Structure 1
């Protein structure tokens, strides 16, 4: 399936412009927090920031074993890297608050936070699905996203702080064309995107973005695939490499990425050089790449019809 793209180039794998070893993308001195850091996109993002020279990277996640495995794999490649693992649930406000506060105390502030923690509910229609399973997606994706954002804002560094929420293209797609994603996931991701727009608006000293990571082979993607009707081909192929969103996050949080206005919804597949070339246009247009009604603002009603 060919997906619509803002840029003429559409990437499935990393490319030179987002290479974390580029001096222009250096994360030297930065303290980075990655939720969902034990597997998949979160683990790949942590590795990308370590490759870019981050001072310290904290991995947060529910399951201790994947966190330790991710930490060990990164340290096997970068023996001097400072990697910390915090087993916690992003919906646990006290645990998240203690974690962020301890990191801020230890390092004098957190520079970058990538919120990759997410939950995909079991398949079920609005009419038939259990309320508890539907609402769990909102607990993790929206409440968890709120808690992470709040404690990042309270413990961020004072200069150049960046918050990136891993989101999904599902937030854009009409429900009528989606057959392998429950309503709870799509609607919670829409809510998270709008929440992070407000983070950007309320905090001009922070850059905040939502990011579709691409279609990456993860545990969640496998669960989504299993929900597809058996007679249908998977529309979201070819898959994208997990390192693509990880390295995109390094670029976006760098000085080069700062040309993209805060509060926007981006795709990892889009070419960063083309995005940078659009930066002036984006700054002059507060609607593009935000969660709005397509076509709005519409023409004003004709006189006498109001």
Structure 2
């Protein structure tokens, strides 16, 4: 099997690809640009979520960090308060808890104010073929966290954003939703559904001044998404799963700063609105993508229906 880079990168693309942060999304460019903005980040305790929380704090945002593990999320909030000199609170919760959205929003509004930017980062994965998936609840859990939990938090922040005619929603998705790979049926399906939902919600939200994006974060070895995701039985019994894992690991080359700084740029850069409702890949140079997006109906993005999830037919 080829590396992930060869599988999902368009070999004829003219867009520059990155493995680390780069000038267009540089933290120095957006330092202080989100002052007085309130940011809610789910899955903020580790990995991409933690890096994202620190990046938004560096941009001046007041950050509400939510995660399931108290020690993790409290450590992030403390680091923000001490080193980024921004306001931050830690909230313990699970996005699939039906009570969580209203409870979390109340806590954020009481302590920081209404949410201006929502980063739906909480997610879990599962690596298994269907045959050896003995407990299908594990697959349903993946769909619950990645799709149902995300929609619940979008629904919760929407009334306030509509009232203020302003808001930014970033849904963390995956390139695995755009290509066909075995052993990720639940995860890829959930992320594909979220990309499609983002396309549709943009039609509803943009008239209210709310901009939304579905963003593939990165291929990063420091991400905690894959921890506990592998079905050990499938790995032992299916040669394809063993080979997949052997080929997959070398593809994890990106830094956590790449998605974190991309998210900040999407929230802070007025030009980003040209890609609202679209799928974005953090490893693609955002400045180059936006230059094409600004061409509107005359540009390739609109003419060819790029950065949208679709099925091409005859």
TM-score by length of 2: 0.83
When residues 242 and 283 of structure 1 are mapped into structure 2, their CA distance, relative to the original with a 3 A threshold, is farther
- Are residue 69 (structure 1) and residue 75 (structure 2) matched? yes
Aligned with 1:148 (options 148, 153, 157): 153
| 1:260 Cα deviation after fit | 2.6
When residues 237 and 122 of structure 1 are mapped into structure 2, their CA distance, relative to the original with a 3 A threshold, is closer
Unaligned runs of 5+ in 1: 299-306
Alignment of 1:9-158 (within 5 A): 9-23=16-30, 26-54=33-61, 56-78=62-84, 80-104=85-109, 106-121=111-126, 123-125=128-130, 128-156=133-161, 158=164
Q: Is the 8 A contact 1:25 1:250 kept in 2?
A: no
Q: In the alignment, which residue of structure 1 is the partner of 2:177? A: 171
- Are residue 188 (structure 1) and residue 229 (structure 2) matched? no
Q: Is the 8 A contact 1:34 1:115 kept in 2?
A: yes
Query: Distance between the aligned counterparts of 1:84 and 1:110, measured in 2?
Result: 13
SS of the residue corresponding to residue 207 of structure 1 reads: strand
Query: Distance between the aligned counterparts of 2:268 and 2:202, measured in 1?
Result: 17
**CA-to-partner distance for each residue in 1:109-168, whole Å, 9 max, x for gaps?**
211111110011352415744221111111111110110111121233724311001111
Q: In the alignment, which residue of structure 2 is the partner of 1:229? A: 242
TM-score by length of 1: 0.85
Q: In the alignment, which residue of structure 2 is the partner of 1:208? A: 212
When residues 24 and 46 of structure 1 are mapped into structure 2, their CA distance, relative to the original with a 3 A threshold, is closer
**CA-to-partner distance for each residue in 1:236-274, whole Å, 9 max, x for gaps?**
525210111000001011134434331100010010110
Unaligned runs of 5+ in 2: 236-240
- More off after superposition, 190-199 vs 35-44: 190-199
Q: Is the 8 A contact 1:216 1:239 kept in 2?
A: yes
Q: In the alignment, which residue of structure 1 is the partner of 2:258? A: 244
**CA-to-partner distance for each residue in 1:21-78, whole Å, 9 max, x for gaps?**
2158711111000000000001101111111111x10001111111112222333322
Query: Distance between the aligned counterparts of 2:199 and 2:116, measured in 1?
Result: 19
Aligned with 1:162 (options 151, 161, 168): 168
Q: In the alignment, which residue of structure 2 is the partner of 1:8? A: 15
Q: Is the 8 A contact 2:95 2:101 kept in 1?
A: yes
Q: Is the 8 A contact 1:25 1:256 kept in 2?
A: no
Q: Is the 8 A contact 2:120 2:170 kept in 1?
A: yes
User: What is the Cα-based RMSD across aligned positions, in Å?
Assistant: 2.5
Query: Distance between the aligned counterparts of 1:93 and 1:258, measured in 2?
Result: 32
